[in-house]
Amino acid sequence: MLKTLVNLLIFPLIPLISVITLVVKGQWLLIGLGALFVIGTVYALGLLYGLERKIVRSMSVRTASYLVPVYYLALVYVSVILSWTLINSRYSGDWWVFLFAYTCCYYPYNYLLGAELAKTGRTNLMTNVVNNYALYGYLLFAILRNFTGLPTATAYVALLILAVFPFYYKLPERIRGKY
């Protein structure tokens, strides 16, 4: 229920309002960078998926259950940093740019979650974890970078600590239990 409410509020309201605000401000380059970032992220994840499947098939289930979450969380970590660097860093403190960059970071993972649901009729535990990490990861990172005086290293460390929580709840064992 909460996830549905969040998705209804985040999409399409936040992107629509933030894009309209950026259009009014005349920040077309920023909108273009965001669109390229979303398309590039979806495309890159699609390319990496085939390679990932080949590598994972060559591993034992136990090894894969530990390495695949780390791999996916590393991809989201890179996405958060790229979204911050490409879109939000030059406009630190601007609420509408923050919301737009947040949407650009979260949307590719939400798109992949929807694609998996449409294709298989269900979503995988790992897909949900990655999607939630994209959602909360960018919020944590960008709030620390945009609205506090904390150094960048602190935001990076906070993002890494957030990534540890799935392991705290024994995510690899739960994934292994699904096989």
83 assigned to some structural domain? yes
Amino acid at 172: P
CA-wise closest residue to 88 among 97, 79, 96, 76 = 97
Both tokens assigned to 8: 């209804």
5 assigned to some structural domain? no
Q: What is the pLDDT of residue 168?
A: 59
73 assigned to some structural domain? yes
1 assigned to some structural domain? no
Kindly give, in sequence order, each residue whose CB lies less than 8 Å from that of residue 47, ignoring residues fewer than 6 positions away.
none
Q: How many domains does the chain have?
A: 1
145 assigned to some structural domain? yes
DSSP assignment of 19-88: HHHHHHHT-HHHHHHHHHHHHHHHHHHHHHHHHHHHHHHTS-HHHHHHHHHHHHHHHHHHHHHHHIIIII
2 assigned to some structural domain? no
The rounded distance, in Å, linking the Cα atoms of 20 and 118 is 30
How confident is the model over 23-69, as pLDDT tens digits?
999 999 999 999 999 999 989 888 887 787 788 788 887 777 777 77
The rounded distance, in Å, linking the Cα atoms of 175 and 118 is 21
Q: What is the pLDDT of residue 31?
A: 92
101 assigned to some structural domain? yes
Q: What is the pLDDT of residue 51?
A: 80
7 assigned to some structural domain? no
Its domain, for residue 23, covers 13-178
The rounded distance, in Å, linking the Cα atoms of 79 and 125 is 20
How confident is the model over 149-171, as pLDDT tens digits?
788 788 888 888 877 776 656 66
Q: Given pLDDT bands bounded at 50, 70 and 90, which one contains residue 9?
A: low
